[in-house]
Structure 1
């Protein structure tokens, strides 16, 4: 069955038979390929017919069924036959040798003995071409030459997405590029990104609004009872619930003193009503004075008051507990964080790099809950879809611990799409994510993962038909990814576009070689560093 024997030296790709189907199952097929013919075709690279990841077509009635090569082995060491495993990915109308109107899914399976035809550039363009749905392009498809890789925006955001990859694979620049493309396609969008390392402010200096501890100004009273307890209650064990109950009663009384509480019949400790810390302290003191002997004692009240006093005077918490944040600024906070209106900057970056580590999970929980509750109470004509992007997601949705941040992010993953809240998870350790969260992501963008446990975690979260491509993630180069799920027409291996230098995030690793080549004015550098250190990153007078 060699090329020369068939006399088709001049036949173009799209018409050349390169093998036959041996065995069919509902998920795929096993086929025999002619190694002599594949070699004679002379193409190199991932688009070579018959290569792993390449696409072949099979004629079934008036349809071309498209299959992707997922595995290869030589039938005999010196033979001319190659056994290939094929995964069916979709079908299109057959117009002679041409493929038109490709759609995902297969309605009619071929029979054993069916001819395998190499796909042409035109066929691959038809397979991967974006349809009329709103989409963005992120690069080119590895197995299809210069064919562009497209993501459907509504499917990507409507079913959540995850970007996964080991450190140094280009994950941050890929994330920045994706968000830039989304913002360019939707200039009146509403995107909130949680940035724990302060990487993305440089990328969105012009296109977004960047908030850090010097400008965040998010009032303490926006926290609900659970978040208050994480910050105010320091005890553990059986005494903790006693402290929480006292805090709940006192917090409700403090909120009730505000005029904004008037007329609200279902006021609770969770209601986002402003209150004064001094009022809360006075209420605790008054309750402490009413205690009877033999009760809980004054210990819980003293602990709560001491913790409140610490927070008020600690400058690291000024972005949240400053005396300037007692007014009813809820609308202003939501406008700034959710970009309502966008004012030409549809993305807000919240830089948490200088936030004290003990309160960071609480702040993430508060931000996530504000996004979700805003969506919950603005359903219908007033709805404004919001994308919440969480970098280092494994820190806030850990598999081994419960926290307010994990609970609200899990709720968004499960329920958010009903209310117009999309979740984007960025992580270098998907195996550390809480079980089930990754499976809620309709689109997974997997860059190189070096850890076997991480690879297995991703493999378990994708459809079975895409696992052949997922097996390639240990061998991906930097800026390459396997993309599977709702956001793409079919699973692809993509090579990301380069991001403009001025849009790159500040995530590059320092060079030891360059840093150790020259001497510096170390006393002056240390003096500047110590000033910033003592001021906790705040501008110095």
Structure 2
């Protein structure tokens, strides 16, 4: 009881001092009502004691930020010298000694100056230069304070929603920091992740209509959303030349054997592929032609060289690797599903035209390319993504002496392409995306990862993302994985992840001034991805048209068309 009495005395003394303070009327207008005191300090966090009665008094305040003061996830402030320190409430627990008091753990997020006329926060910045001492008074943060705390000031930004718990304070992402150090959008299925991704990308496109964005769309969701301000490419119009593949990507397509036989097949393919590239006139002016050089070659030349090399062998047993490679090559050439990449029409040197088309150089007011892989054969999708990602990185690498043209690569379902396993298929795409995550920002390549299973991503990739946008995650393993990747001062803020509503998120990292909980804006219907859940109760009431639906579907199915 003695500790509780001392706490009540400190609250009473603070209120008495406020009543005689000449600036008290100004502070009261800002709802600077003492609700507690600091009880313990430890580095970037602290413990405070809150008066339940004071919190209940403020609960009916018309300012939602003030009304939420002291609750988990809310912000509080305290005066240290001439600066306001701002912190987020992480946990609450009843004081074991006095039931009328609450002990809260807080994380400091930054500090700002005190405006002389109003007493509110201004010139807010991240980080704390001077910590409070036990006994420092604690106040609620007002809506006007929140506007200053979350303001982007003079930095280029995009607004994506409103700051929780306010109704009008705008939440902004700092574009240069968001893209300059990569970002990840995480959330379980059904939380509004696709719509949130479309919203962020639309805001970026609106801000930078001459930008360069490439998005991998594995479900065909985003084509309609970006029909007016982007270009959509799929199996019917991508026209990705096969000769742009490097040696490793050729192996993933053409080598089907395993174990020791695979190594032998790869060695033979390397020799024959280099010889095929050397036959092109474009190779004549290249001093150091390698098996990875993006020089056009004829599939028929590769087949002929394999056949000729096989004819030089005396023993039939030694011809098996050549037979396997030749059979696989013939199979791909004959399969119409692979025609978007292995067509005889793609032999010409169209590298510059292809890069211009896919990278939006120039953008012409349509800065985003949607690469719809949903209609492509599943066994080749990893290679397609690998080629596109590698082309983006290599372009930035070899263009570093030119005027920089930064490119953003966005991967939906990123856990497919950067799996935690380092064995199995798809290792070429895993390697290049890991390299972009580690080195891309040096060359102006930004990476945006969208996934519902962050725990399935390769270790370390998530920590390379400077900004994490976390929606509700239902899986405990995913929650733990995301929290482990967060900056130390943000982890307590992420305790709210399991309780987020649909279309809400926590944003931490370089892309925001301070960690922030956001309710996303509504996106116009014509800008939304085609990812809405079916309304069974309505759709199962409708009758008629089934025969026509079946006929059209079977026709597209058989013709592998859409």
Equivalent residue in structure 2 for 1:237, among 251, 259, 264 = 259
Q: Pick one of 38, 44, 53 that aligns with 1:36.
A: 53
In 2, Cα distance between equivalents of 1:160 and 1:506: 25
The question of whether the paired residues in 2 share the 8 Å contact of 1:46 and 1:52 is answered with: no
Instruction: Tell me the secondary structure at the aligned position of residue 560 of structure 2.
Output: coil
Query: Match for 1:253 among 244, 266, 275?
Result: 275
Distance 2:480 2:169 in 1: 30
- Match in the other structure for 1:389: 410
Q: Write the distance in 2 (CA, Å) between the matches of 1:67 and 1:508.
A: 38
1:486-507 deviation line (CA, Å, top 9, x unaligned): 0000000000000001101000
Match of 1:54 among 74, 99, 104: 74
Does structure 2 conserve the Cα–Cα contact (< 8 Å) formed by 1:46 and 1:53?
A: no
Q: Any conservation in 2 of the 1:56–1:116 contact (CA below 8 Å)?
A: yes
Q: For residues 16 and 369 of structure 1, what CA distance do their matches in structure 2 show?
A: 57
Q: Does the 8 A contact of 1:14 with 1:123 survive in 2? A: no
| 8 Å contact kept, 2:359–2:407 | yes
The equivalent of 1:447 in structure 2 is 471
**2:319 counterpart of 1:298:** yes
1:91 is matched with which residue?
A: 111
* 2:381 is the counterpart of 1:360: yes
* Equivalent residue runs for 1:4-23 within 5 Å: 6=16, 11-23=28-40
Q: CA deviation at 1:144?
A: 3.5
Shift of 1:67: 1.2
Match of residue 329 from structure 1: 350
User: Aligned pair in 2 of structure 1 residues 67, 167: CA closer, same or farther (>3 Å)?
Assistant: same
Is the Cα–Cα contact under 8 Å of residues 15 and 34 in structure 2 kept in the other structure? Answer: no
- Which residue does 2:419 correspond to in 1? 398
Question: Is the alpha carbon distance of 1:94 and 1:522 closer, same or farther for their aligned partners in structure 2, counting shifts above 3 Å?
Answer: closer
In the alignment, which residue of structure 1 is the partner of 2:176? 154
Q: Deviations over 1:420-451 (max 9, x none)?
A: 00000000000110110000000000000000
Q: How does 1:96-107 map to 2 (within 5 A)?
A: 96=116, 97-107=119-129
Deviation at 1:518, TM superposition (A): 2.2
**Matched ranges for 1:416-495 at <5 A:** 416-495=440-519
CA distance in structure 2 between the aligned counterparts of 1:416 and 1:461, rounded to whole angstroms: 19
Measure, in 2, the Cα distance between the counterparts of 1:504 and 1:196: 16
Structure 2: distance between partners of 1:46 and 1:398? 41
Higher helix share: 2
Q: Report the Cα distance in structure 2 between the residues aligned to 1:120 and 1:515, rounded to whole angstroms.
A: 47
Shift of 1:133: 1.1
Alignment partner of 1:194: what SS?
strand
Match of 2:44 in 1: 27
What is the deviation of 1:233? 0.6
Give the Cα separation in 2 of the matches to 1:380 and 1:32. 58
Q: Partners of 2:103 and 2:547 in 1: how far apart?
A: 68
TM-score by length of 1: 0.96
Q: Judge conservation of contact 1:130–1:150 (CA < 8 Å) in 2.
A: yes
Cα separation, 1, equivalents of 2:408 and 2:540: 42
- Range 387-396 or range 37-46, more displaced: 37-46
TM score, norm. by length of structure 2: 0.93
Q: Do 2:217 and 2:371's aligned partners in 1 also have CA atoms closer than 8 Å? A: yes
CA shift at 1:264, angstroms? Answer: 0.9
SS of the residue aligned with 1:382?
A: coil
**How far apart are residue 124 of structure 1 and its match?**
1.5
CA-to-aligned-CA distance 1:284-316 (integer Å, 9 cap, x gap)? 11111111338x611111111111111111110
Q: Confirm whether residue 183 of structure 1 aligns to residue 205 of structure 2.
A: yes
Q: Take 1:288 and 1:69, find their aligned partners in 2: how far apart are those partners?
A: 72
Match of 1:314 among 335, 357, 365: 335
CA distance in structure 1 between the aligned counterparts of 2:311 and 2:53, rounded to whole angstroms: 94
Count of residue pairs the alignment pairs up: 537
Q: Which moved more, 1:35-44 or 1:261-270?
A: 35-44
Kindly provide the CA deviation profile for residues 225-276 of structure 1, in whole angstroms up to 9, marking residues without a partner as x: 0000000011011100111111000000000011111121110110000000
1:380 paired with 2:380, answer no
The CA distance in 2 between the partners of 1:213 and 1:382, in whole Å, is 32
Question: Quick check: 2:36–2:137 contact (8 Å CA) kept in 1?
Answer: yes
Instruction: Tell me the secondary structure at the aligned position of residue 478 of structure 2.
Output: helix
SS in 2 for 1:56: strand
1:121 corresponds to which of 140, 143, 165 = 143
Q: For 1:465 and 1:14, how far apart are their aligned partners in 2?
A: 27
Residues 30, 120 of structure 2: 8 Å contact kept:
no
SS of 1:235's equivalent in the other structure is coil
RMSD value, Cα:
1.7
With over 3 angstroms needed to count, the CA separation of the structure-2 counterparts of 1:263 and 1:39, relative to structure 1, is same
Deviations 1:114-171 (A, max 9, x none): 1112222221111111121111110010033311001110100010000000000000
- Show the counterpart of 2:3: none
- CA offset at residue 77 of structure 1? 9.4
- SS of 1:381 mapped into structure 2: coil
Post-superposition offset of 1:64:
1.2
Structure 2 unmatched runs, 5+: 1-7
Q: Is the 8 A contact 2:213 2:359 kept in 1?
A: yes
Asked whether 1:64 is paired with 2:84, we answer yes
The change in CA–CA distance for 1:518 and 1:144 in structure 2 (over 3 A counts) is: closer
Secondary structure in 2 matching 1:426: strand
Any conservation in 2 of the 1:14–1:98 contact (CA below 8 Å)?
no
Specify the alignment match of 1:504 in structure 2: 528
**In structure 1, the residue corresponding to 2:491 is in which secondary structure?**
helix
2:237·2:340 contact (CA, 8 Å) conserved in 1? yes
Distance change >3 Å, CA 39–CA 333, structure 1 → 2: same
